[in-house]
Structure 1
Amino acid sequence: MSVSFLAVSPVLVPLGTAMLATAASRRPGLQQAISFAGIAALAVCALMLVAQASSGVPAVAQFGGWVAPFGIEFVVDGTGASLVLITALMGVASLLFLVSDADPGPRHPLLLPLVHGVLAGVGGSFSTADLFNLYVWFEVMLICSVGLFAIGGRVDQLDGTFKYLALNLFGTMLLLMSVGLIYGATGHLNFTALGEASAQWPPALGLALLAALTLSFLIKAGAFPLFAWLPASYHTLPAPVLALFAGLLTKVGVYAVLRTLGDVFSPAPQVLYEALGWIAAATMITGVLGAAYHWDIRRILAFHIVSQIGYILLGIALATPEGHAATLFYTLHHIVVKANLFLIGAIVWALTGSYDLRRIGGLYALKPLLAVLFLIPALSLVGIPPLSGFWAKLLILREAIAQERIVWTVAALLVSVLTLYSMMKIWMEAFWKAHPDETWQPARVRLGAAYLATTGLAAVTLWISLSPQSLLGYATAAVAGFGR
């Protein structure tokens, strides 16, 4: 048996933390200390994985004395390592934010164990080199996510739990059936073996199997037209959990599409990439229209998750090394920006008592630091230069123009304009205009940890913005081996 601890750390560390946190459930202080120690350990392991991947040698683990392609294998390459690192960063920010009074939700004894369970599922998805085990880690995420949705016990949370579970279960069943059919057609589940075996598929069979597999991942990613579960459920979550979900869960679905169509089964049938491009355009447009319609900060940002998923899928649909590198760059940038916007929205709620833009205002005059913290990720989401979103969109659009994908390019540019509208709506209503109640004063709440978390994420966004070539160079190297 060849097992590298570093390769299994994205799963082993959060699972171990979840177990210890469960054992300490009657001692909240100890449980919180265990949780912070666990996320710190995961961050250290993630940094080591990135360092190893940067040297061109992925971390590999094979279990049970069975070598690939017959044994279970973990392979953490440059793509997986960067996503594990951003997962750890999201865990740090969310757990730090949880210490504050900014919409923390109920302090249930199982809250922290379930959070680390989600992190284990995400880490396993980014680490596995086996199609069935990718399904398993999706299931781990689903089980722990449902627990976090329902943990508060409110009617709206239970309603959100049902909406989240219903369509995700359909995606799970479709994913399991697709995995079974692919195994029946190839006799393999290992990524490398699948790539070799799929070259012998009859074209019609390969198209049908990959279409079903891709559809199951698109449901998990919140792509058009099966995204209704996301804005219908996410707003019921407490802010730290919502930020974690917003940053990570849909990106696991996107990663699965990138890994399968861009790497394992590359080149896939051209019709799949073509269909994916049109789905991406529809996802961008429908998502941003939903954001423009709503007045609740959480719903606006939830629809923007959908919209931005469209940009990332467009990078995959372009099916070139440049498109894949742009996809990874965009994913990493967007995870940070989106999580930060949800956390800032929670600070707004803590100060004003509402997420409804029509009932709040006056924050720019009283909280100028919060206004600046909002503008950094908001303008980055829009794509205003020189912020990280500008570079991410530039990479996608440059490749789309190079391939003469005019309609997709125009759709992406139009969506950026509508994104600016919805971000300006938040700015004008929450920060610029006076509060509807002339006697209003911001609530006195403990927000030190919340500001620390959001400032840290804003600093990461500024680092990407001011040195995009560093991240682009890493992303280009990380996807260089795709499809080989």
Structure 2
Amino acid sequence: MSVLLPLAIAVPLIGAALSLLAIGSRTMQRVISVAAAAATAAISVTILIGVDRDGTEVAAMGDWPADIAINLVADRFAALMLTISSTMLLAVLLYAMGQQTDDERSRWYHPAYQVLIAGVCGAFLAGDLFNLFVWFEVLLIASYVLLTLEGNDGQIRSGTTYVVLNVIESFVLVTGVALIFAATGTLNMAQLPERLAELPDGVRLGLNLLLLIAFGLKAAVFPLFSWLPDSYPAAPSPVSAVFAGLLTKVGVYAIIRTQTLLFPDTNRELLLVIAGLTMVIGVLGAIAQSDMKRILSFHIISQIGYMIMGVALGGVAAISATIFYMLHHIPVKTSLFLVEGIIERETGSSTLGRVSGLARRSGPLALLFLIPAFSLAGLPPFSGFLGKTAIVTEGLDQRSWWIVAAAIAVSLMTLVSMLKIWSGAFWGDPEPMSVDAHHEGILRKQPLMSAVTAGVVALTLLIAVFAGPLYRFSERAANDVTDPAVYRTAVLP
């Protein structure tokens, strides 16, 4: 089983290389890209099943001793994130193929996308801090290319901001990694808990803050979020969908991994304040917008606050609720951006003042929006209600009244902003159109994009239907995450 861990990274890298070799044939590029992404998803599912059955899997590169090797580690949490992420990456790739043109720049899309897949998989499987930094850089470099692929002025401006702030994040992260190595003599995450515990409290606090700043910038928490609502709306819709669903979650994953494994019970009050401010500022920003992409982008920030709230509360129950919430949020947020992409392609705009009456033109499209929108707002019986309820319940159990009140208020304001999109884009009189366009329907004109979007929305419903088994899996994953001895024993038996 451990041989599959490097394959999850190697397959998309091979796909990127083959896509470059086939750069003269768009058809061949698409075949290679889909095959590599599908193989990565299949490998991820196999890893998930094996890890849940047999426990944490470890692959030590080069057959070196585990304490000095480059280790790839898949526990239940990593395997779950690997699986949901690779599934969404495959879905968005298919969606993008339904939207892609034969523009000269599109030939670079598939190699960059495959490198992005490899970077995401590597970040989830990294067993030491330096290689976590390396895979962060891989996915960031690929994301730079995808963000500015069309080369228009708006993308270049947004891409510049994105690059500058993420270079700062990389500098902070590599500085933190270097100082941790200087203080402990290792970067292996199985060895670090014991060695960090031996350091003076002030040194541990400083090292923890450096990692929190770096990962917090990637996760777009308050006050490090300003780059996100300017960068994501400028990208093409398929790229925005990937960024919205996955990239910030890689930052949250790193925060969960380091806060539970390396710095347990450290800076919890600070994280709770950050969580509350992230939720509130994000949702207020969403309410103030009049463009669908910008509204949805601010909601990425707001929903990250719930995940940080779970990390701050700590313990198995809170972490399991956070893991389940991440599992729910990735397809929900992805599907909302996919719906927005269909609307933008049909109408030429995502500004609410220029779009109206979509519900009358396409009832199914309206339904594809409403289901993830209600889930994002936390309405029953959707998966968002279950995830938010679990986090809020843990907050009540710990008597953190103010953060619970903030979480409930933000959920209500999220519903208000979703209704703003509904009333602006889906309600009202339809825009003038030809009779042929009316009969053809919006979804029929874009069959592949529509089918993928429907599939991702259906996945959000399946998460709600199978919430019981999925939540029990999240509890098992949380037990792994919150017990450093489990991780250490698996890596260093």
| CA shift for structure 1 position 198 | 1.1
Q: Which residue of 2 aligns with 1:452?
A: 451
The answer to whether structure 1 residue 58 and structure 2 residue 53 are counterparts is no
Deviation of residue 351 (structure 1)?
A: 2.0
Distance 1:74 1:54 in 2: 17
Summarize the alignment of residues 220-369 of structure 1 with structure 2, pairs less than 5 Å apart. 220-262=218-260, 264-269=261-266, 272-369=267-364
1:276–1:317 CA contact under 8 A, matched in 2: yes
The equivalent residue for 1:8 is 6
Unaligned runs of 5+ in 2: 485-493
TM-score, normalised with respect to structure 2:
0.94
CA pair 331-127 structure 1, distance change in 2 beyond 3 A: same
- Is residue 102–residue 346 contact of structure 1 (8 Å, CA) maintained in 2? no
Question: What is the alpha-carbon distance in structure 2 between the residues aligned to residue 425 and residue 168 of structure 1?
Answer: 32
Q: How many residues align?
A: 479
**Alpha-carbon shift at residue 58 of structure 1 (Å):** 2.1
| Alignment correspondent of 1:483 | 483
Contact 2:71 2:127 in 1 (8 A): yes
Q: Which amino acid aligns with 1:248?
A: L
The answer as to whether partners of 1:150 and 1:157 remain within 8 angstroms in 2 is: yes
SS at match of 1:227: coil
CA drift of 1:243 comes to 0.5
Q: Report deviation, 1:469.
A: 0.8
- Aligned pair partner of 2:99 in 96, 101, 112: 101
Q: Deviations over 1:90-125 (max 9, x none)?
A: 112111111223899875211011011111111001
* SS of 1:100 mapped into structure 2: helix
The reply on whether 1:474 has 2:469 as its aligned counterpart is no
Residue equivalent to 2:38: 40
3-state SS of 2:63 partner: coil
Question: Residues 312 and 27 of structure 1: is their aligned pair in 2 closer, same or farther, counting only changes over 3 Å?
Answer: same
Cα offsets for 1:112-162 (capped at 9, x unmatched): 110111111110010011110000011001111111122211111100110
From the superposition, tell whether residues 392 and 319 of structure 1 become closer, same or farther in structure 2 (CA, over 3 Å): same
- CA separation in 2, counterparts of 1:106 and 1:385? 46
**Which residue number corresponds to residue 429 of structure 2?**
434
2-structure distance, mates of 1:101, 1:214: 37
Identical-residue share of aligned pairs (%): 40
Q: Retained in 1: the 8 A contact 2:105–2:149?
A: no
What one-letter code is carried by the residue in structure 2 that aligns with 1:135?
Answer: F
User: Which residue is 1:29 aligned to?
Assistant: 27
| CA shift digits 1:179-198 (9 cap, x unpaired) | 00000000011001001211
What is residue 71 of structure 1 aligned with on the other side?
69
1:319 and 1:32 mapped to 2: Cα distance? 44
The answer as to whether partners of 1:102 and 1:447 remain within 8 angstroms in 2 is: no
Stretches of structure 1 that go unaligned for 5 or more consecutive residues are none
Report the counterpart of residue 464 of structure 1 in structure 2.
463
- Aligned residue number for residue 173 of structure 1: 171
CA apart distance, 1:433: 1.2
Shift of 1:9: 2.4
TM-superposed CA distance for 1:38, in Å, is 0.6
**Structure 1, 196-205 or 99-108: larger mean CA deviation:** 99-108
Task: Give the 3-state SS of the residue equivalent to 2:62 in structure 1.
Answer: coil
In structure 1, how many angstroms separate the alpha carbons of the residues matched to 2:316 and 2:103?
A: 43
Q: Is the 8 A contact 2:338 2:453 kept in 1?
A: yes
Deviations 1:220-272 (A, max 9, x none): 1001011010001111111111101111100000000000001x214242xx1
Whole-angstrom CA distance in 1 between matches of 2:95 and 2:103: 11
User: Could you tell me which residue of structure 1 aligns to residue 212 of structure 2?
Assistant: 214
Name the residue aligned to 1:110: 108
Aligned 8 A contact 1:291 1:304 in 2: yes
Q: CA deviation at 1:52?
A: 0.7
> Does the Cα contact within 8 Å between 1:266 and 1:483 map onto a contact in 2?
no
Q: Deviations over 1:253-298 (max 9, x none)?
A: 0000000001x214242xx111011101100011101110111110
CA distance in 2, matches of 1:319, 1:104: 49
- 1:285-319 alpha-carbon deviations (Å, 9 max, x no partner): 11101110111110000000000000011110011
Deviation at 1:5, TM superposition (A): 2.2
Contact kept, 8 Å, 2:57 with 2:74, in 1: the verdict is: yes
Deviation at 1:10, TM superposition (A): 2.4
Provide the C-alpha distance between the structure 1 equivalents of 2:136 and 2:102, rounded to a whole number of angstroms: 26
Partners of 1:322 and 1:142 in 2: how far apart?
32
How far does the alpha carbon of each residue in 1:420-462 deviate from its partner, in whole angstroms, 9 at most, with x for none? 0110011111112113658796687841111111111111111
Contact 1:333 1:388 in 2 (8 A): yes
**Structure 1 contact 221–251 (Cα < 8 Å) conserved:** yes
What secondary structure does 1:75 align onto?
strand
Q: 1:106 to 1:242 in 2, by over 3 A?
A: farther
Give the whole-Å Cα distance in 2 for the aligned partners of 1:256 and 1:247: 16
Q: TM-score, normalised by structure 1?
A: 0.96
Task: Confirm or deny that 1:419 pairs with 2:414.
Answer: yes
What code does the residue aligned with 2:180 have? I
Distance (whole Å) between structure 2 residues aligned to residue 233 and residue 104 of structure 1:
24
Aligned to 2:488: none
**What's the CA shift for 1:411?**
0.6
In structure 1, give the amino acid aligned to 2:418: M
After superposition, give the CA deviation of every residue in 1:24-80 in whole Å (9 maximum; x if it has no partner): 111100110001111110111011011011114222110133212211101111111
| Kept after mapping to 2: 8 A contact 1:265/1:483 | no
Aligned to 1:381: 376
